[in-house]
Chain A
């Protein structure tokens, strides 16, 4: 009897300790920690906030740490007996996985206070009540000179849900050496971005030059683009006049005419063998290798790729290449207009700071977000990671202006477009990418792919979709 009682008690203790171990030991109220003594003898209250970003651009959270130093000085001046400590993390995976992790972490009250993510995710995050509206920050004096168009990228159903952290341009990189092989003079090569800007050099011209380069053996590939789904593909839809979003009704628009042209473009460049046969099944690193080893004439890239090429060894002989090397060999231009005299495009995909609805210190977080917009901090991030500033003050920074790579593309912000902030846009872009993949691999004609795409979108999006014939 005693034995079984002991056994019952032991197992109960073991089980309860296992369950206790499963519980969230970090789930203490934020800022519970007290450390040291304050100036007035009271204990200093240390408030721990957390911030998370994704990828190699760690300045996105490191700048917040620097802003926290300023914030702590302010708190000291105000005589408040508290100190903010910022814990940072850079998620080592894809942005999609980071978003998934944030949503699941939110459900278990472990979400970081500040979360940096692509602007198009705010629809999903706002709808799921994962983040807080930040309308008050729009009125703050720190954001008075933010480029107004950037507020559009963080607006969802009439409210502001994020604060732009940076922006970028997605230019077309062109290889100067290959153009020279085709008989272009230095002057012609240097004037190309301007000709694109004026609408004189069109998308068709770009395809023709790529064909010439391929035919003459000057380049192995005429054109390359990213191998995975991403915002770049929608820039082409905008170029063909697509409207992707009805903000008033909060619905995604399936603009059939424009999307057909978009699919036709990718079908044509694949049929003409301008792109690698298997581009959409390649790994990204191999696309970087193709570009850095100067095997492609045109590359639909992003300005930050200059940073990627400096961070990893992609060149067969040299390994890592710096910005100077890139600027000597490559130029950057807008995506040429679809029609002569038309307006060229690019697409910006601002990374934005969002604030978790689980934060217990919204006032401190808001102040931190005001301080992080400091032009010096922005410039440090921009120069290090090759991104564009979000405020006029940062755009006027002499160090930024002096940078050859960034200075050359700053004008592109005037031609920029954004992805819609609709909560289901990931489904739309995923299906469009599959359609592009189908036409590039020659499995479907643009008309067939368009038909299947329509069926798919109707099924996936239902009444969230407007079909424009």
Chain B
């Protein structure tokens, strides 16, 4: 009985409302709605909804039947007794730390090389473009080249080269799988830092370098006392950005070693993928992904508060 009353009263209200109020509302909110609306919808569909879904799925035992059956904390209990999880966590730490170091070191070295040491702009540009090539080629093609290079049979590039020197075929991907994935990811990831650092170095006023030279500063001193402090914030930003993307990316590992041999290159993000899309344990896979989300949030918090990332947003210190 209540429902029709509500409808009636709603109708009454609408009927009584002043059309000017609607016009006023539209005038105030129309344009912001048009400008922000599509983005809000996209953010909701692609950013917020997946996180909400992962959180809900993590508490279900959804398998290949794709039925939403809540099972409380069972997935997390299962994770606690999963014999592989400690090794996978350790792999994740190794993989992220080593790749990140290689990324940042290479990115900074390349930026220094192409903007500071090589004075000719066109040469620096060519080097940077070459380094960007793998970034613009599809991951599958990039990894196929590595697979071909490391192939354990005598048909692989590395082993063909070894055969010239009468060395037996090596199985690098089986013996040193972590090195292989760090190399493959580190080399391609360096281009991102390279671009950001190059821009930052270029924005340092030339007077500083001139003054340093007049004062007789060594190259080492110029790099460590002028350039590095000037790119401190981009360095911090690239580190955090790369850290988060390394934590959650797994496509190069999947294509190169599939997480193997055994679990030697299985990282948390890949384990989540394997559980969800290979064993069809969508619930368990989501629980692993949820742990990953929490780890990523903790890392962001640490960078934001402890390393003072929030200060980065303030205006540039070089004017």
Residues of A whose CB lies within 8 Å of any CB of B are 1, 4-5, 7-8, 11, 15, 96, 100, 103, 107, 124, 127-129, 276-278, 280-283, 286, 289-290, 423, 426-427, 430, 434, 437-438, 441, 443, 452, 455-456, 459-460
What are 17 A-to-B residue pairs whose CB atoms are below 8 Å?
A: A1-B23, A15-B37, A100-B280, A128-B65, A276-B152, A276-B153, A278-B152, A278-B171, A278-B173, A280-B260, A281-B257, A282-B151, A282-B153, A283-B151, A290-B153, A426-B279, A456-B83
- Decide: A289 and B261 in contact? CB cutoff 8 A: no
Across the interface, which residues of A come within 8 angstroms of B174, CB to CB?
A: 277-278, 281, 441
Given the known inter-chain contacts A5-B26, A452-B83, A459-B82, please indicate yes or no for A281 contacting B153, CB distance below 8 A.
no
- Decide: A107 and B26 in contact? CB cutoff 8 A: no
Given the known inter-chain contacts A128-B64, A286-B151, please indicate yes or no for A11 contacting B171, CB distance below 8 A.
no
Across the interface, which residues of B come within 8 angstroms of A8, CB to CB?
A: 26, 30, 33-34
- Contact for B171 among A100, A277, A427, A437, CB less than 8 A: A277
- Which residue of chain A has the shortest Cβ distance to B155 in the bound complex? A286
Whether B31 is near chain A, meaning CB under 8 Å from some CB there, is: yes
Whether B203 is near chain A, meaning CB under 8 Å from some CB there, is: no
- Which residue of chain B has the shortest Cβ distance to A441 in the bound complex? B261
Interface string of B77-94 (1 = CB under 8 A from A): 010011110000000000
Whether B262 is near chain A, meaning CB under 8 Å from some CB there, is: yes
Top 10 A-B residue pairs of the complex, sorted by shortest distance between their CB atoms? A4-B30, A278-B171, A128-B65, A278-B152, A286-B153, A281-B174, A278-B174, A7-B34, A455-B83, A124-B64
- Decide: B83 and A1 in contact? CB cutoff 8 A: no
Interface residues of B in 114-155 (CB under 8 A from A): 147, 151-153, 155
Across the interface, which residues of B come within 8 angstroms of A426, CB to CB?
A: 278-280
Given the known inter-chain contacts A100-B277, A426-B279, A434-B262, please indicate yes or no for A4 contacting B26, CB distance below 8 A.
yes
| Closest Cβ–Cβ distance, residue A2 to chain B (whole Å) | 11
Across the interface, which residues of B come within 8 angstroms of A96, CB to CB?
A: 278
Given the known inter-chain contacts A11-B37, A455-B83, please indicate yes or no for A280 contacting B279, CB distance below 8 A.
no
Across the interface, which residues of B come within 8 angstroms of A423, CB to CB?
A: 63-64
- Decide: A1 and B27 in contact? CB cutoff 8 A: yes
Give CA–CA (A258, B206) in the complex, Å: 75
Interface size on B, residues (CB 8 A): 37
Across the interface, which residues of A come within 8 angstroms of B34, CB to CB?
A: 4, 7-8, 11
- Decide: A107 and B66 in contact? CB cutoff 8 A: yes
Across the interface, which residues of A come within 8 angstroms of B37, CB to CB?
A: 11, 15
Whether B38 is near chain A, meaning CB under 8 Å from some CB there, is: yes
Give CA–CA (A460, B61) in the complex, Å: 12
- Decide: A437 and B64 in contact? CB cutoff 8 A: no
Residues of B whose CB lies within 8 Å of any CB of A are 23, 26-27, 30-31, 33-34, 37-38, 41, 63-67, 78, 81-84, 147, 151-153, 155, 171, 173-174, 257, 260-263, 277-280
Give CA–CA (A350, B309) in the complex, Å: 59
- Which residue of chain B has the shortest Cβ distance to A427 in the bound complex? B279
| Closest Cβ–Cβ distance, residue B45 to chain A (whole Å) | 10
Give CA–CA (A452, B65) in the complex, Å: 28
Interface contacts beyond A8-B26, A103-B66: sample of 14 additional A-B pairs, CB < 8 Å, sorted by A: A1-B23, A1-B26, A4-B30, A5-B30, A7-B34, A8-B34, A127-B65, A128-B65, A278-B174, A437-B261, A438-B262, A441-B174, A455-B83, A459-B78
- Decide: B65 and A281 in contact? CB cutoff 8 A: no
- Decide: A281 and B171 in contact? CB cutoff 8 A: yes
Q: Is the interface of B mostly helix, strand, loop or mixed?
A: loop
| Closest Cβ–Cβ distance, residue A219 to chain B (whole Å) | 15
| Closest Cβ–Cβ distance, residue B300 to chain A (whole Å) | 31
Across the interface, which residues of B come within 8 angstroms of A430, CB to CB?
A: 278-279
- Decide: A281 and B260 in contact? CB cutoff 8 A: yes
Across the interface, which residues of A come within 8 angstroms of B30, CB to CB?
A: 4-5, 7-8
Given the known inter-chain contacts A7-B30, A441-B174, please indicate yes or no for A129 contacting B153, CB distance below 8 A.
no
Give CA–CA (A15, B84) in the complex, Å: 46
- Which residue of chain A has the shortest Cβ distance to B61 in the bound complex? A462
| Closest Cβ–Cβ distance, residue B150 to chain A (whole Å) | 10
- Decide: A282 and B152 in contact? CB cutoff 8 A: yes
Across the interface, which residues of A come within 8 angstroms of B41, CB to CB?
A: 15
Give CA–CA (A217, B27) in the complex, Å: 88
Give CA–CA (A11, B36) in the complex, Å: 11
Give CA–CA (A438, B260) in the complex, Å: 10
- Which residue of chain A has the shortest Cβ distance to B175 in the bound complex? A278
Across the interface, which residues of B come within 8 angstroms of A438, CB to CB?
A: 262
Give CA–CA (A299, B277) in the complex, Å: 31
Given the known inter-chain contacts A11-B34, A278-B171, please indicate yes or no for A460 contacting B65, CB distance below 8 A.
no
- Decide: A129 and B65 in contact? CB cutoff 8 A: yes
- Which residue of chain B has the shortest Cβ distance to A121 in the bound complex? B64
- Which residue of chain B has the shortest Cβ distance to A423 in the bound complex? B64
- Which residue of chain A has the shortest Cβ distance to B263 in the bound complex? A434
- Which residue of chain B has the shortest Cβ distance to A316 in the bound complex? B155
- Decide: A4 and B153 in contact? CB cutoff 8 A: no
- Which residue of chain A has the shortest Cβ distance to B284 in the bound complex? A460
- Contact for A128 among B31, B66, B82, B261, CB less than 8 A: B66
- Which residue of chain B has the shortest Cβ distance to A127 in the bound complex? B65
Across the interface, which residues of A come within 8 angstroms of B257, CB to CB?
A: 281
Give CA–CA (A418, B30) in the complex, Å: 66
Across the interface, which residues of B come within 8 angstroms of A278, CB to CB?
A: 152, 171, 173-174
| Closest Cβ–Cβ distance, residue A359 to chain B (whole Å) | 19
| Closest Cβ–Cβ distance, residue A127 to chain B (whole Å) | 6
- Decide: B173 and A281 in contact? CB cutoff 8 A: yes
- Decide: A103 and B152 in contact? CB cutoff 8 A: no
Across the interface, which residues of A come within 8 angstroms of B260, CB to CB?
A: 280-281, 437
| Closest Cβ–Cβ distance, residue B262 to chain A (whole Å) | 6
| Closest Cβ–Cβ distance, residue B22 to chain A (whole Å) | 11
Given the known inter-chain contacts A4-B26, A280-B261, please indicate yes or no for A460 contacting B64, CB distance below 8 A.
no
Across the interface, which residues of A come within 8 angstroms of B31, CB to CB?
A: 4, 7
Across the interface, which residues of B come within 8 angstroms of A124, CB to CB?
A: 64, 280
- Which residue of chain B has the shortest Cβ distance to A7 in the bound complex? B34
Give CA–CA (A282, B173) in the complex, Å: 9
Across the interface, which residues of A come within 8 angstroms of B66, CB to CB?
A: 103, 107, 128
| Closest Cβ–Cβ distance, residue A119 to chain B (whole Å) | 16
- Decide: A460 and B26 in contact? CB cutoff 8 A: no
Give CA–CA (A96, B274) in the complex, Å: 12
Across the interface, which residues of B come within 8 angstroms of A128, CB to CB?
A: 64-67
| Closest Cβ–Cβ distance, residue B71 to chain A (whole Å) | 11
Across the interface, which residues of A come within 8 angstroms of B27, CB to CB?
A: 1, 4
| Closest Cβ–Cβ distance, residue B280 to chain A (whole Å) | 7
Across the interface, which residues of B come within 8 angstroms of A100, CB to CB?
A: 277, 280
- Which residue of chain B has the shortest Cβ distance to A443 in the bound complex? B262
| Closest Cβ–Cβ distance, residue B251 to chain A (whole Å) | 15
- Which residue of chain B has the shortest Cβ distance to A220 in the bound complex? B154
| Closest Cβ–Cβ distance, residue B253 to chain A (whole Å) | 14
Give CA–CA (A430, B153) in the complex, Å: 24
